Structure 1
Amino acid sequence: MKHAYLLFIGIILLSCNSQNKNIEPDRSKHVGLTQLNSNYAFKTLHSGGEIAHAMKQSELVDEAYQFLSEIMGPKKQFCLLVISGKDWNKNAYSPVIGMPEYYRGNLIVGAGQNDMASGFEELIMSFPKEMTKNLTDTYTNDLGTFDLRLFFDKLSIHELTHSFQDPKNQEGYSMSRWLEEIHANMGLYAFYKTKKPSELKYIMSFVDFNLGNPPPDLQYTSLSDFDAHYYEMSPSNYGHYQMKFTGAAKEVIDSLGNGILKPLNDFIIKYDETWKEKITKEDFKNRLATEVDPFLLEIIENW
């Protein structure tokens, strides 16, 4: 989820010749924030009163950054922003308050509950208890409260992985958004599987529940539909895609190992959106199999 659903509707990216320019993060979103004193490879800025949350998030992001950069090489010039609900409209991009996002060199996380987690909690609580027992057992926090932040807060690592796909700080996209999303979920899954295996259940339990109980009114289901209707599908349709992308990411990492993150990241950067009119979908798939790994074609063909 490079952004939550509807994140970039209405945003027009300015194009420029930047091959010889060091592109920095969008600093317009830093206004009014306080910089955390740290020695991490990235700067952390936070809303007033959120220093404890900023320290916790920066520690997690640093661990994941070290893990991912050892595989894919360093990602220069990005910032971590830890934003409270009261500052969200000013210092974040997404209309979904608190939802982790990456855009223009800024990795943004909420300092509290996010709106999407709250919405899913209400929905799940409306289901029969026997249907959701395993889910509620998994996501009950230390205070005895059902809390889907145990899932959604981990999506900051998904967004961090997007930053590696983005050496020019969001001046464009690859020619395949669904491939970007699978790769971002690969980074998320690989990190928790390798570094925090006891917490992997907080990712996969929610994914498995959603895949086993898909929304009944999915309008778009194919990979080509995802790219073609990215801005117009319903939130539930978009969310279901993300669950399937995470399932696919698990298959790839479990089958090929963490090292596959690097060639796939290079492929995403190489085949940017300017390639859309240059090669066919079949040629794109053949290049993906040849330049990255043929196993990825199994994911596409079995979608």
Structure 2
Amino acid sequence: MKKSEKFKRQFQLTLWTYALFLFATSTVLAQSFEDLNHLEGNITKTFYSNGSKEQAQIMAKRCDNVISFYKSLIMFEPVVTLLVLSPDDWSKYTNFPVYGMPHYNDAKTLIVASEDNNFWKSFIPPLDQLSKELAQQISKTYSEKGNSLSMRGFFDLLAIHELGHAFHEQGGLYMQRKWMGELFANILLHTYIAEKEPELIPALTVFPQMVVSSTNKSDLKFTTLNELESNYDLLGQQYPNNYGWYQCRWHLAAGKIYDDGGKQAFKKLWQILKKQKEPLDDVAFANLLSKKVHQSVANVQLKWDE
């Protein structure tokens, strides 16, 4: 098997797992965290595995900062419990089979990995299979100590995506479309990083750029937003690679929305999704987003197929 074909199959498998996580939630196996260590002094209630205190402090501080940032912007904060788990503890607290994937359980429990792992590393492509520019971006963005590469920087940030779902689910927003629920979480993620940790923008954006640029749309079963709405369950069950492509498109769209509308675009989106409780057709929804939020948000729907 050629090296490029081998990587393509490996990449499809890892993208499948990423999409599966984004499509579905897991179920917490243990409601008591007494076997974990409790990290004191944070807004976010945090528990961690032995030997994971440093990573727990980093993740808890970031969650606190995200919640504080949005509390000042939209006057709302969700209730979240954070678990920072070692490989040994992972299966005790989640049914999700792959160590390393951040996921948000039972509406209030966010689970993240405490250490680097093969799953994160599996997303790094053979650099000689990429354009020179993209290969340089990946090497620069995802280098670890000793010059090894890992996607840890991207996956650590996905915890904020999951916090985004906590905001809209606990905040009582009516999302209108399934794609809006995911776009909303990515706008929340990108807006926070751009405002408070802009040095992490490459870690957030290079991976989605790689996926979108390396995907041939003709190889996908579904490509439009209406197809996603009509086949959402089918996508997650039978075409998760296809769903992963949608997610990466929403990551890039979130960056465009922030660049054009700043943090006020998110604030206006929050307000209108909280206020508008009646379902809207595509034309009315696009008009609402254009007039009450920002044209860049409406353009996700209006210009998706361009």
**TM-score (structure 2 length as normaliser):** 0.79
Specify the alignment match of 2:5 in structure 1: none
Q: How big is the shift at 1:35? A: 4.8
Change (3 A) 1:301 1:279: closer
The correspondence of residues 1-303 of structure 1 with structure 2, limited to 5 A, is: 4-7=18-21, 28-103=30-105, 104-113=107-116, 116-121=119-124, 123-124=125-126, 127=129, 130=132, 132-167=135-170, 174-214=175-215, 217-233=219-235, 234-269=239-274, 278-303=279-304
- Corresponding letter in the other structure for 2:98: V
**Are 2:86 and 2:115, in contact at CA under 8 Å, matched by a contact in 1?**
yes
**Are 1:32 and 1:47, in contact at CA under 8 Å, matched by a contact in 2?**
no
- Corresponding letter in the other structure for 2:112: V
Q: How big is the shift at 1:95? A: 3.4
Change (3 A) 1:291 1:96: farther
3-state SS of the aligned residue for 1:200? helix
The separation in 1 between residues aligned to 2:84 and 2:74, in whole angstroms, is 25
Q: How big is the shift at 1:284? A: 3.1
The separation in 2 between residues aligned to 1:65 and 1:10, in whole angstroms, is 23
- Corresponding letter in the other structure for 2:140: D
Q: How big is the shift at 1:177? A: 2.0
Structure 2, unmatched stretches of 5+, are: 1-16
**Structural RMSD (CA):** 3.2
Q: How big is the shift at 1:137? A: 2.9
% same residue: 25
Change (3 A) 1:48 1:120: same
**Are 1:88 and 1:98, in contact at CA under 8 Å, matched by a contact in 2?**
no
**Are 2:144 and 2:150, in contact at CA under 8 Å, matched by a contact in 1?**
yes
Structure 1, unmatched stretches of 5+, are: 14-25
Aligned length: 282
Q: How big is the shift at 1:73? A: 2.1
